[in-house]
Amino acid sequence: YKKFDFSLSITGQYGNKILNAKRMNRDVFSDGNYDEDFYKNRWTPSNTGTDYPSAEAYNSSFIQQANDFFVENGFYIRIQNIQIGYTTEKIPYVPKFRVFFTAQRPYTFFTYKGFTPEVGGSPISSGIDFNVYPMQAIYTLGVKLIF
């Protein structure tokens, strides 16, 4: 609009499931810790209406059994790129220029309990989260001189 410009790119995925191996294997290794959600919502005699097992059951053979407890919804919508800019008019002795702000991957909407729902891209691990590192957001402020 007028001298402003705007662009937006959105990506997402629907209908997929993720095996959260990061949570499943937490207790296999000695440095595994429970996350806050599990700790606060685990089964206890006073909290029987929960989806999580007791910490004792979780530590025993629970994770060795085949089940869908760690299979989660992989649906997400990500703002992949957003840019807003302003271009000035040419004035004597000053070049025309454009000022802009860009955000790459500033926010992802998802319910998955891992860092990111984009996991396991290889043919043998598709849809499995083996401690995927979270996607970083990148913010850029720039000026483009137009001679």
Instruction: List the domain boundaries for the chain.
Output: 1-20+73-147, 25-69
pLDDT at 141 over 80: yes
Closest CA to 115 of 58, 76, 62: 76
Whole-number percent of the chain with pLDDT over 90: 40
Q: What is the pLDDT of residue 92?
A: 85
User: What does the pLDDT read at residue 27?
Assistant: 58
What pLDDT, on a 0 to 100 scale, did the predictor assign at position 60? 55
